[in-house]
Chain A
């Protein structure tokens, strides 16, 4: 179960001069889409037994994301903190998370890795598939439904032109969309219980991961320029007094849009 700490999408977001997302506004949150993933993981653990471990990589305050996960019902958390992670692209982040999964596998099997469908900040959605590829696990991304039976995981996913049902043997990876479920709210008891749950903090060294493979050093793209888009000009707002449809038609023709 991987979660990502992202700036709250309702708040102002910005890119800094280094082309990275400004993450120090103090208004970060558990990525909403990860809540769907966590909900799916919790339901599967309730149905089939097992433990849910929330994992995140990021700066010190990213621990808030895993704490929310513990409050929702996860059993334990892993937070990877290392300055070298800053500026990681999707593959760099996937490398860190893959190392965590392997680290956890030293203590027992990790049957299913569950992620959100995308981070709402960069929204590249490459992470789940890259993580599965690094782990050599089958990937079943974009699950609108996920079930586990007889040692296999089955998902239904809605693509642009088709609906697919995919199945793969465990261990596997799924990413979950916001259609999959309605995430639970942490109950008071859950919030209290979360305080006693373990959060393990790991560094890249603990994971045996070379710093040059992640972070800005390992990134394969470089942001050259970033700027807010200029505001739209010549905007029109009118109240319908009976002819708004006619005026809309005239506007579309004038703009060569119809």
Chain B
């Protein structure tokens, strides 16, 4: 049995102190599950405090308490963050912790599983409480199977995939109570040293992992991503790439979609010159609507595409972008 009277949400944030977009989904989910003491947020103070914008967001989303996790150690170390969250879970009595499905948060989840005995589900896309147990929905095998998984322990830790839930605001809104939760990290947690940490520059586009629209370029771009970028910008989307494109150095490795790169499930996926190799499909097959443009009619991506075009991306993409701009101008 898991007591979800209080649900704790890890508030991932930007270096500017704004909430990362998928956190809004977590709070929306948490609000549906939490009891009277409501949704509590954990803000790891990594030199960055919640901005006025973040506090306004948290108010609108219905977060009751924000606990600022404060420690002398480097909270970017996932072992340190896990210790802070373990102590906060204890202090708040929360039975459920929700976090976004980032690499770091999965490390935190693994540590909490060992340290606290928590049951963990990663990459969930739905969440429910049934007969006192947290039940998480999850797609597996590259998005080809859906499962529902019950967590049988008292403490449940779930990481939730971006684009799983439509964000809604709370009916009653009040500014959250902001408090401090100080903790001391153990020597074991600080055995790892951060030698260097480089924040990736802002591309001006949405984050790949949580964007509603992703336009992906593959081998067929032959290294020219301009049409991919143009369509992404018209749609307000992010730009991704296949392993071939990143290995060729056409675009950074952080743009790689696939089983070993970023896993995405946007509302709209557009693959341009993407063949749809099994590793790539593993990272995008759970997307809402899949569009494929490829000059090879036998490309495997057409097997999973909702809307497939056999054609040259260099003419199809700019034509689509121009038409979308024209339709928008018409209003």
Residues on A facing B (Cβ under 8 Å)? 9-10, 13-15, 19, 33, 90-91, 94, 117-118, 120-130, 133-134, 136, 138-142, 144, 154, 158-169, 177-179, 219-229, 232, 234-240, 243-253, 255, 257-258
Q: A164-B197, A236-B308 are in contact. Are A126 and B278 (CB under 8 A)?
A: no
How long is the Cα–Cα vector from A117 to B37 in the complex, in angstroms?
A: 38
CB pair A162 B199 closer than 8 Å: yes
How long is the Cα–Cα vector from A251 to B316 in the complex, in angstroms?
A: 13
Contacts of B304 on A, CB cut-off 8 Å?
232
Nearest-CB residue, chain B, relative to A228: B145
CB pair B259 A123 closer than 8 Å: yes
CB distance from A221 to the nearest CB of B (A): 5
B223 part of interface (Cβ distance < 8 Å): no
Contacts of B119 on A, CB cut-off 8 Å?
220-221
How long is the Cα–Cα vector from A138 to B188 in the complex, in angstroms?
A: 7
Main secondary structure of the interface of A (DSSP, over half): mixed
Instruction: Report, as a range, how many residues of chain B touch the other chain.
Output: 35 or more
Extra contacts, 13 of them, besides A162-B198, A227-B147, A249-B320 (Cβ < 8 A), are A91-B114, A125-B103, A126-B110, A127-B110, A163-B200, A164-B198, A219-B152, A220-B117, A220-B120, A235-B307, A236-B307, A246-B320, A252-B235
CB pair B103 A160 closer than 8 Å: yes
Contacts of B322 on A, CB cut-off 8 Å?
245
How long is the Cα–Cα vector from A243 to B17 in the complex, in angstroms?
A: 45
How long is the Cα–Cα vector from A18 to B320 in the complex, in angstroms?
A: 47
Nearest-CB residue, chain A, relative to B234: A258
CB pair B310 A158 closer than 8 Å: no
Nearest-CB residue, chain A, relative to B195: A165
Q: What are 18 pairs between A and B in contact, CB < 8 Å?
A: A9-B279, A15-B140, A91-B120, A138-B191, A160-B207, A161-B207, A166-B194, A221-B119, A229-B144, A235-B306, A236-B307, A238-B309, A245-B315, A245-B318, A246-B319, A248-B291, A248-B309, A255-B289
Nearest-CB residue, chain B, relative to A169: B191
Residues on B facing A (Cβ under 8 Å)? 14, 76, 78-79, 102-104, 106-107, 109-111, 113-115, 117-123, 135, 139-153, 188, 191-200, 207-209, 213, 234-235, 253-254, 259-260, 262, 267-268, 278-279, 282, 289-291, 293, 297, 302, 304-312, 315-324, 327
How long is the Cα–Cα vector from A221 to B120 in the complex, in angstroms?
A: 7
Nearest-CB residue, chain A, relative to B291: A248
CB pair B316 A245 closer than 8 Å: yes
CB pair B109 A126 closer than 8 Å: yes
Q: A159-B104, A226-B145 are in contact. Are A237 and B302 (CB under 8 A)?
A: yes
Contacts of B114 on A, CB cut-off 8 Å?
91, 94, 130, 133-134
Contacts of A123 on B, CB cut-off 8 Å?
123, 140, 259
CB pair B278 A168 closer than 8 Å: no
How long is the Cα–Cα vector from A94 to B188 in the complex, in angstroms?
A: 18
How long is the Cα–Cα vector from A197 to B158 in the complex, in angstroms?
A: 42
How long is the Cα–Cα vector from A91 to B157 in the complex, in angstroms?
A: 13
CB pair B297 A239 closer than 8 Å: yes
CB distance from A85 to the nearest CB of B (A): 18
Q: A130-B114, A221-B121, A257-B267 are in contact. Are A238 and B308 (CB under 8 A)?
A: yes
Contact of A239 among B110, B192, B307, B311 (CB under 8 A): B311
CB pair B122 A220 closer than 8 Å: no
Contacts of A166 on B, CB cut-off 8 Å?
192-195
Q: A133-B114, A246-B323 are in contact. Are A238 and B196 (CB under 8 A)?
A: no
CB distance from B233 to the nearest CB of A (A): 12
Contacts of B147 on A, CB cut-off 8 Å?
15, 19, 223-227
